Amino acid sequence: MSRSPPARGWAPPPPPHRLRSLARSWLDEDAPWPDAAVATVGDSAVRAQLLSKGGGDSGGVLAGAPLAEAVFGVSGCRLSWRVPEGAALPPGQVLVAEVEGPAAGVLAGERVALNILGRCRGVASMAARAVGVARAQGWAGVVAGTRKTTPGFRLAEKYALGVGGADPHRGGLGGLLLLKDNHRALAAAAGGLEQMILGVRQAGGFTCRLGVECSSADEALAAAGAGADIVLLDKLAPQELHAAAAQVKAAHPGVTVEASGGIVLGTLPEFLGPHINVVSMGCMTHSAPALDFALRVLEP
């Protein structure tokens, strides 16, 4: 089923072959052997309503439609969406889609699809809130996620970040050459930081950017001077962070400065500043609450 880009952030869905592969793996996990309860309902055609529920004062952001669609597609069903991906959902119960297909297929895909939508909705909603906080402060930089994702569900959570308007950050270790604290602890054995950066660049090729995680202004200046494209200032207090970022930008104006480490929605404004290009927040994935969905089969 073709779909327009999300109503909020633009996030290209995974390619069809990845969607089908993920859908099959999730269905295999939930039903590795025949389900007698599903088998008894047979293949008679049924219709069902897919409903969003709850959400507190806000219903959040709808996300995960291509993934849920793939699950129902593998189970032999078809979805017709009533709400576009990325739309802000009102609180309470809302009809977001209708499902049609064989009864056994609808029931087999039900819980997997609902889990996907609930998790993606939670991540997208938190991402939208974080971006909203940043823009309300007049800050135009990038709000990004991290690799703190659920194993086996990273692609979905990264996609949901984009639907919510945040930057997914690197998809995996190959998406950015990043030297973190434990890499830098081994720099002496590699001949020093500059030699380590040179070696990583040669190994990674010319297409990859390189970032270095730093815990002080001195480390950041050394990393930028050694050729880092991105300096990640990690776990610095706001005042120290902004001072270090100003020093880096004064000496190396082309270097991207990223702030990270324990930043949450409540403290985000303290980390926004004129010398910060990116704020990355693991809480948008590892601490996002799942928002509820339900499926209601309609009587013939």
> Which residues are known catalytic residues?
148
> Number of C-alpha atoms within 13 angstroms, CB side, residue 260?
26
Paired with 197 in beta bridges are none
Token reading at 223: 């990393």
What is the separation, in whole angstroms, between the first and last Cα of the chain?
A: 25
Ramachandran area for residue 258 (φ above 0: left; ψ -120 to 50: alpha; else beta): beta
Sort strands 278-280 and 142-144 into parallel, antiparallel or unpaired. Answer: parallel
Cβ atoms of 124 and 86 within 8 Å: the answer is yes
Sequence-ordered alpha helix ranges (H) in 87-216: 103-136, 154-163, 181-184, 193-204
What DSSP string runs through 189-216?
GGTSHHHHHHHHHHHH-TT--EEEEESS
- Residues 118, 61 contacting (CB under 8 angstroms): no
